[in-house]
Structure 1
Amino acid sequence: MNKNNANEGKQNKLRTWMIRWYEYNKYKIPVIFTLIGSLLFTLFLDFRTDGFTFKSHLASIQLVTSNIIGFYLFAIYLISMVQLFNSISFSRKRSPVSFFLFIILNIIQALLVYSYTVIFFQEAAARPDYTIPQFTYMSIGIMIAGIVFYAIASIFATCYVNWKYVKIEE
């Protein structure tokens, strides 16, 4: 019986802490998910050390004949950096203009990730000598995971936008 009460006390403390954290940080949740998505997009660049080689995005795009895929990768990286700062701006103001910019950039990012992914499958269908390597599948998975976090950030941003926002001169 005493162990049960102690366990309930811990659960109540945890629940109270979670409610408090949420109330204090709820407008920062889109920033958190955008940060995770941006980190997923940008941290997994190819690198080589003495005994370890990590292949992902750059090694993948070097194997295909399409020239536009390099632009897609560049645009994905660029938009992820812009979105990070845009999400911080949105969390402070929650203005509809900032919200629409956030959503539009997320849609563009999703289209770029889709285009980036499709090129590998089109290349495999068009060239009999090309098979999609494992590190390319990992690159595609990283991109899809990043856009999933952006979608979650968009959902939270939709919940927290202030439709009655009025800009106050500081």
Structure 2
Amino acid sequence: MSENTSSGRPRIVVGVDGSEQSKYALRWASRLAGLAGPGAGPQIQAVIAWDFPAPYGFGAPMPNWNADEVATGVLTAAVKEAYPEGEPDGLVTVVREGGAAAVLIGLSEGALMTVVGSRGHGGFSGLLIGSVSEKVAEHAHSPVLVVHGDADGPVPPPLP
């Protein structure tokens, strides 16, 4: 599992933040990719984005904190939880610095589809759709699937 965005295969871009909704989005991406048949499907790009929050007052960054490593850990854990039986063929992970919506919109160019959960870690639980998924749905360069599911329930299994 590593970043490789130039395989020449069609791509499905999936936004991942570690939330149950993003694991659900990963499962949907594998369902969509599986429609092409074993080994023939598009590459699934599991994408996590990180950004430093706007500073308030005077603060120094934590000296031993590496945002890229933290994001990679969250992404790796989410992929393992979404695919306990093993990763689907063609899955790659992408870790990028930047706002989640902007990163996903940029990667959506040339993609078959972009898949996001309806809410992630950053939203208010009462919202029907999160701000990232709303921005991606409005501005992506590819069709967008916003998956809804029970955020408090288990993630459904992938299709066989």
User: In which range does the TM-score fall when normalised by the shorter chain?
Assistant: under 0.3
Quick check: which one's helix share is greater? Answer: 1
Quick check: which one's strand share is greater? Answer: 2
Normalised by the length of structure 1, the TM-score is 0.25
Max Rg structure: 1
Normalised by the length of structure 2, the TM-score is 0.26
